[in-house]
Structure 1
Amino acid sequence: MHVAFIGAGGVGGFVGARLQASGERVTFIQRGPHLAAMQTSGLRLTSQLGDVDLTEVDVRPDADGVGSVDVVFVCVKSDQTEAAGELAKQMLGPDTAVISLQNGVENEDRLAAIVGPEHVLGGVIYILSLIEEPGHIVHSTPGAKLQIGERDGSESTRARVITEACAKAGLDVELSTDIEAALWIKFTGLCAHNGMTALTRCAIGPIREDPVCREVLIRCAREVLTLAKARGVMLPDDFKAEPVRVFMKVPPTMTSSMHYDITHHKPLEVDWLNGAVVRLAAQDELDVPVNQTIFAGLKLHAAGS
């Protein structure tokens, strides 16, 4: 199977390195210093799940000459989705799967508008993995969970083949028959966790221990649940009852990608997280004051320094 990754950062580099190490043919599309380092020295992954050292990788600045592939994983920030879609379009075959592993709930529709809805599957990944330095990815959490599924809920051959390849690569992967719900479950957590850790510049521990901050975390999540219900997304009852339960169990030092970005003066994805809640809620005439406040508190930092 030929798998292309648009973005070889914390997510794309992690999944791609695992797949190549397991024997799959992998092409990375990347730019900047990370591209140069990978071209010169390959890609190194440091992970509690096992290290990977790839001395040679197929990495390019664009899709020229790649040809059609079996799978395209989109692993860039959400503000780059349209550009990624145009790259993916150059690598399409009749049954190519295009899978976003990005944050947010709008990327699938944005990609479908470019490559065609028949090519787009949904994808969800739970991981904290970053570029430590060009050419070196560090996966810093104990696990990594991946969910992949057709948007219509069917168990297609291509979805099964992709899932089996990921499992062979040692990934904790699930073939989902309700990927829309999976996307909204992650989105709920991202808006609460990423939003509050970035806004406070604190890890999750102090946030959940402080009664005021904990209440804001919970209310933020409940606003997203209300939005999901208004949009016809069916979420599990146990999740709706305790939408931030997972954050009460994770290590107190756990931060988030948006916390990392704001503390390192990098662009934020807040427009596609809490900002998306505000935007979508306005379409449905819903009030989301907590998400609106978090969005307002982070929006002026969204461009980075």
Structure 2
Amino acid sequence: MRILVVGAGALGGYFGGRLAQAGRDVTFLVRPRRAELLSRNGLSILSPHGDFHLAQPRIVTADGLNDAFDLVLLSCKAYDLDDAMDAFAAGVGPHTAILPMLNGMSHIDALAARFGANTCLGGLCQISAGLDGEGRIHHFNDLHALVFGELDGAATARMAAISAALGEAGFDAQPCEKIRQEMWEKWIFIAALAGITCVMRAAVGDIVAAGGGDLALALFDENAAIAAANGFSPRPQMVERFKAILTAQGSPIKASMLRDIEANHLIEGEHIFGDLLRRAPGEAPLLRIAHLHSKAYEAQRARVSA
């Protein structure tokens, strides 16, 4: 199976690098600057599960992409989705499957509109990773799972082929018959974690110490009610797990969105908060505050850089 990994940042670089390490046929679609860095330094992963260095990763830029792949692993940020689709479009053929690793759900509609409803799988990843100043990928925890499945839950021949290609490749590849449920559950948790840590500008443990744990739970409950209204009520064991994370005393956890704000980077506020708010059956005041906070940050960032 020929696999095109769109991006070689923390997520695409990690999962694509592990696939290459396992001998899979992997090509990374990257921008010219990243291509130059990878050509010079190779692809490096530093991980609790073992370090890996690929001296000469197979790379391509958009202008050099001219044939179809069997599987596209999409690891871009939501705000880069339109540009990413333009970049990898030449790699999509009649039998290509696209496996996105984005949070939320609106990207599914965008991919279906561009490439056809049957092209896209559902997917999510469970990992904490980032790039350092030299472009190396640092994996920060023990989790490195890629969950994927047909959006309608069907057991198809392509799912079997993709499962075989991703399996035993140095990370946890998890085929899933209820991928929409999994995606919704992750979405409402991410929206709660990002919402509370960004608005408070603090890690979970600091918010709990300040007496704000109840607000984190209330925000999660709002999000869970939206999921339920859309037919994806979170499972009780997931609710218990997520609420424990959001109220853990002394926890250093904060959303990656907060790290992006602290670094003055673009954020996925509209994709995480705005789209969820649009699906709400009624008022969701705490989620609205989180959404407005993200929009205010973006407005300030645009004003200062103008």
2:44–2:52: 8 Å Cα contact kept in structure 1? yes
TM-score (norm 2): 0.91
Partner of 1:57: 57
Instruction: Detail structure 1 runs of 4+ shifted over 6 Å in the superposition.
Output: none
SS class of match (1:302): helix
Choose which of 255, 274, 297 in structure 1 pairs with 2:293. Answer: 297
List aligned pairs for 1:215-226, cutoff 5 A.
215-226=214-225
**One-letter code of the match for 2:215?**
V
Contact 1:268-1:301 within 8 A present in 2 as well: no
Query: Where does the alignment leave 5 or more consecutive residues of structure 1 unmatched?
Result: none
**Closer, same or farther in 2 for the Cα pair 1:76/1:95, shift >3 Å?**
same
Q: CA deviation at 1:3?
A: 0.9
- Counterpart code for 1:223: E
Aligned pairs for 1:75-224 within 5 A: 75-211=75-211, 213-224=212-223
Q: Does 1:9 align with 2:9?
A: yes
Counterpart-to-counterpart distance in 1, 2:197 and 2:22:
35
Amino acid at match of 2:252: T
Range with bigger deviation, 115-124 or 126-135: 126-135
- Confirm or deny: 8 A CA contact 2:205 2:250 kept in the other structure: yes
Question: Could you tell me which amino acid in structure 1 is paired with residue 217 of structure 2?
Answer: I
Residues 146-183 of structure 1, C-alpha deviation per residue, up to 9 Å, x if partnerless?
21000010122222322333231121121110111010
What's 1:227 paired with?
226
Report the Cα distance in structure 2 between the residues aligned to 1:25 and 1:107, rounded to whole angstroms. 26
| Counterpart-to-counterpart distance in 1, 2:294 and 2:92 | 37
**1:75 CA displacement:** 0.8
SS of equivalent residue, structure 1 residue 146: strand
User: Deviation at 1:66?
Assistant: 4.5
Report the CA distance between 1:262 and its aligned residue. 0.7
Q: Which moved more, 1:140-149 or 1:248-257?
A: 248-257
Distance in structure 2 (CA, Å) of the matches to 1:65 and 1:242:
43
> Post-superposition shift, 1:240?
4.4
Report the Cα distance in structure 2 between the residues aligned to 1:182 and 1:251, rounded to whole angstroms.
28
Residues 296 and 152 (structure 1), Cα distance of their counterparts in 2 relative to 1, 3 Å cut: same
C-alpha spacing 1:157/1:245, structure 2 compared with 1 (3 Å): farther
Contact in 2 for aligned 1:48/1:140 (Cα 8 Å): yes
Aligned length, in residue pairs: 301
Please give the alpha-carbon distance, in whole angstroms, between the structure 1 residues aligned to 2:241 and 2:261: 28
| Kept in 2: contact 1:7–1:76 (CA 8 A) | yes
- Alpha carbons 1:194, 1:256 under 8 Å: kept: yes
Question: 1:270-301: per-residue Cα shift (whole Å, max 9, x none)?
Answer: 111122222222xx4x1110011112122222
Deviation at 1:245, TM superposition (A): 2.9
Counterparts in 2 of 1:232 and 1:63: CA distance versus 1, 3 Å: farther
Of 135-144 and 113-122, more deviation after overlay is shown by: 135-144
User: Identity, % of aligned pairs?
Assistant: 26
